[in-house]
Amino acid sequence: QQQVKQSPQSLIVQKGGISIINCAYENTAFDYFPWYQQFPGKGPALLIAIRPDVSEKKEGRFTISFNKSAKQFSLHIMDSQPGDSATYFCAASIPWNAGNMLTFGGGTRLMVKP
């Protein structure tokens, strides 16, 4: 039972373009929504995260947009670079003191063409 649905599965963007990856969740108890970035041969690493009390969080070229009523959140990568080519996972978690587990989306393989 997949609680976090991620789309698209793969994405090709030209250098300088905007990459957009979307996620939808079902469990309204989720209160923490991170994005992880994974390069080939490496483990996923935290990229950026948001809590539902804000609608947007920006760190450099990376922005999370969060829509609580629609139960959706998305990652925007501005001015995409070839070095951003990686697999991106969204995730969601219930409050840590109720069980510290992340539920991951299926992943999006991003390729940024030079």
For binding to other proteins (CB under 8 A), which residues are involved? 32, 34, 36, 41-46, 49, 89, 93, 95-96, 99-107
Instruction: In angstroms, give the least distance from the CB of 11 to other proteins.
Output: 16
The span from the CA of 22 to the CA of 14, in Å, is 19
Taking the complex as a whole, how short is the minimal distance between the CB of residue 84 and other proteins, in angstroms?
19
Please choose, from the candidates 99, 98, 83, 102, the residue with its C-alpha nearest in 3D space to the C-alpha of residue 40.
83
Q: Nearest distance from residue 69's CB to other proteins, in Å?
A: 23
